[in-house]
């Protein structure tokens, strides 16, 4: 999970357009393979599903923890081993939160710099001691805390929030793909435009192929990737409908 987080400091490395995609691809490959093996081990050690889900067939409580993975650790490793691996899982999740908070803080700062958020002049202030936009980081943390407080009142509500966030993440990838189809310009045309290197607006001369582009097959790859993300969003909606019916 840590390795699969996006490289938010890619602008600080040499040749980020080459090394950052390589690092992300290798990290995702490790995440997929490691996660698949970890899931197989969990399923092998799971035992009866009703013993770890927390609710029996008649509605009786079967797990005092309410956390299936922690319950599997406890059933397989005992109290000491289960406690140790559960704490390790929380530590890993915390490291993931560090990188996610950094990415969100940078996003808030970037949007505020372009005056796209309320009180932008506050979130763009740089702390003189840390030389970082601490106000942008703290408003990001405050918003995350406020959203997660919903879980204290209703598990169904916070599950809905997480489902919406998952769908929004998918569309954050789909939208740039659609924009690239609309505004793509052939490299020969971009070279002929003298103002291409200085333009920042979203026009016909501000977008083109990147270093990893595969020329003629790029459109096909983008289409397949977009369809896979649409399928992921559809799965989230389908699961939400099933939970509502049950």
The domain ranges of the chain are 154-246
pLDDT (tens digit per residue) in 214-236: 556 667 777 777 787 777 777 76
Query: What integer pLDDT is reported at residue 171 of this predicted model?
Result: 83
Query: What integer pLDDT is reported at residue 96 of this predicted model?
Result: 83
Query: What integer pLDDT is reported at residue 63 of this predicted model?
Result: 65
- Please list the ranges in the chain whose pLDDT falls under 50: 1-10, 59, 192-206
Query: What integer pLDDT is reported at residue 199 of this predicted model?
Result: 42
Query: What integer pLDDT is reported at residue 234 of this predicted model?
Result: 77
Q: How far apart are CA 108 and CA 105, in angstroms?
A: 5
pTM of the model: 0.62
């Amino acid at each position: 999970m840590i390795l699969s987080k996006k490289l938010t400091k890619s602008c600080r490395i040499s040749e980020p357009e080459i090394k950052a995609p390589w690092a992300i691809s290798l990290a995702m490959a490790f995440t997929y393979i490691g996660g698949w093996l970890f899931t197989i081990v969990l399923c092998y050690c799971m035992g009866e599903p009703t013993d770890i889900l927390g609710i029996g067939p008649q509605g009786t409580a079967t797990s005092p923890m309410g956390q299936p993975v922690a319950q599997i650790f406890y059933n397989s490793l005992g109290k000491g081993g289960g406690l140790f691996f559960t704490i390790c899982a929380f530590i890993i999740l915390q490291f993931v939160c560090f990188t996610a908070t950094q990415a969100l803080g940078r996003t808030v700062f970037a949007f505020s710099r372009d005056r796209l958020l309320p009180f932008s002049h506050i979130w763009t202030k740089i702390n003189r001691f840390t030389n970082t936009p601490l106000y942008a980081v703290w408003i990001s943390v405050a918003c995350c805390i406020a959203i997660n407080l919903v879980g204290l009142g209703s598990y169904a509500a916070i599950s809905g929030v997480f489902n919406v966030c998952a769908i929004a993440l998918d569309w954050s990838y789909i939208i740039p793909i659609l924009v690239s189809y609309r505004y793509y310009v052939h490299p020969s045309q971009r070279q002929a435009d003298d103002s291409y290197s200085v333009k920042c607006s979203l026009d016909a001369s501000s977008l083109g192929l990147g270093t990893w582009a595969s020329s003629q097959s790029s459109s096909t790859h983008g289409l397949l990737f977009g369809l896979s993300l649409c399928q992921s969003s559809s799965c989230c909606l389908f699961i939400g409908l099933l939970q509502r019916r049950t």
